Amino acid sequence: MTGNRAVAYKSAGVVEVIDIDYPTFELKDGPGVNPANVGRKVPHGVILKTVTTNICGSDQHMVRGRTTAPSNLVLGHEITGEVVEAGPDVEFIKVGDIVSVPFNISCGRCRNCKERKTGICLNVNPDRPGSAYGYVDMGGWVGGQAEYVLVPYADWNLLKFPDRDQALEKIMDLTMLSDIFPTGFHGAYTAGAGVGSTVYVAGAGPVGLAAAVSAQLLGAAVVIVGDMNTERLAQARSFGCETIDLTQGEPGEQIEQILGVPEVDAGVDAVGFEARGHGKDADHEAPATVLNSLMTVTAAGGALGIPGLYVTGDPGAKEKAAQVGSLSIRLGLGWAKSLSFTTGQCPVMKYNRQLMMAILHDKVQIAKAVNAQAISLEDAPRGYAEFDAGAATKYVLNPNGYVKG
């Protein structure tokens, strides 16, 4: 094997499908690769032929030019694949296995991994804890929006599907296990969604919709989703959510119209650092809006799950403070209400096996909830453009023709 095609970030608003090297069991120099990782041997890894790889809102932050991502960085951290080569140190994963790849890269050997904190592995990113495929400042592991991709620590990282035929039949659901389904579930779970609870999810993009589905799976009595995009709100209503239109103002009054009180038990931020104001302020960025509104509408003693992405460097921010991730958060309000916060990367391996079983046994239809649509690898630029324009669609790339129909 010598050829490989991949989706690469070129410049703000521009992605292209380019030719890259077929992966080997050694990290090579390239765009975004941490110099300390160059030459790193990966005998514990496997090479996957990509079955599906999804476009994520986190990718979109880079594509918009809101990070320090370099040109030609290969994108993609939501990966499902078939093992075509295994390194000499791989013991349990076999060639031919169909597997889900957690977007967190983790070693399975450090203190944090042993405590199931796989989003902040200590050994895979020389700059700081935590790593991911195809993402700026995450160690430089090549992204998976490609025909083939290298996955390290395969026996630890990979979730093997028990039956190949069943996996391919349900692949549009199972592809969500690499990121957005566990991430949405993490947001709902850490917010305290449970039997009989009321939950407000800010943001009706794919992660927000996954959080809403997860809250339902956890037994919530009412799930309310807020957004400014009417098509995405309609998508949330399609599987039983209540919705509020944030162009009409702050969420509290609309929540009261639904529940009779202006508060919920649990709040989820599925928006992140590119948040906008509400109502008449909806035409400009106000990055602390979602966090502050969630603190307002979450009942005292409640919790906020924050799977929405916040960054330490945002060169495109309007405010100087926000360019280094400093936001005007009403921490005093959160303190006064004894609210709990859970932030950071979702530790995918904490949830992915259980969510796989829910999919395989027809307890949840995550692909339908997020309106998943398969497109070719070559069609990725269109997918990015339509997603950025607000399409109520989760785009799933199909580089090698595994997805039929």
CATH code of the domain covering residue 371: 3.90.180.10
Does 316 score more than 80 pLDDT? no
Same-domain pairing of 375 and 280: no
Q: Label the pairing between strands 222-227 and 198-202.
A: parallel
Contact 102, 157 (CB under 8 A): yes
Q: Which residue range is the domain that position 210 belongs to?
A: 180-342
Rounded Cα gap, residues 368 and 119, in angstroms: 27
- 187 within a domain of the structure (yes/no): yes
Does 1 score more than 70 pLDDT? no
Percent of the chain whose pLDDT exceeds 70: 100
Mean pLDDT of 19-32: 94
Tokens of 23: 């992966």
Mean pLDDT of the residues in the chain: 94
- 402 within a domain of the structure (yes/no): no
Same-domain pairing of 166 and 253: no
Same-domain pairing of 248 and 387: no
Contact 182, 352 (CB under 8 A): yes
Does 27 score more than 80 pLDDT? yes
Same-domain pairing of 155 and 184: no
Same-domain pairing of 218 and 145: no
Last-in-domain residue among 306, 327, 342: 342
- 11 within a domain of the structure (yes/no): yes
Last-in-domain residue among 342, 357, 384: 342
Count up the domains in the chain and report the number: 2
Same-domain pairing of 172 and 308: no
**Using one digit for the tens of pLDDT, what is the confidence trace for 111-123?**
999 999 999 999 9
Same-domain pairing of 32 and 171: yes
Tokens of 338: 């004894």
Mean pLDDT of 161-184: 97
Residue holding tokens 């450090």?
110
Contact 232, 390 (CB under 8 A): yes
pLDDT of residue 320: 84
- 153 within a domain of the structure (yes/no): yes
Count of residues making up the chain: 405
Same-domain pairing of 208 and 327: yes
- 273 within a domain of the structure (yes/no): yes
- 66 within a domain of the structure (yes/no): yes
Same-domain pairing of 43 and 162: yes
Last-in-domain residue among 324, 342, 360: 342
Rounded Cα gap, residues 98 and 165, in angstroms: 10
pLDDT of residue 2: 67
Tokens of 137: 């400042």
Same-domain pairing of 88 and 62: yes
Global pTM reads 0.95
Helix, strand and coil content of the chain, in percent to the nearest 5, comes to 30, 20, 45
Same-domain pairing of 289 and 393: no
pLDDT of residue 282: 75
- 210 within a domain of the structure (yes/no): yes
Judging by beta carbons within 10 Å of its beta carbon (0-12, 13-18, 19+), is residue 163 exposed, middle or buried?
exposed
- 404 within a domain of the structure (yes/no): no
Same-domain pairing of 249 and 326: yes
Q: What is the CATH number of the domain that holds 226?
A: 3.40.50.720
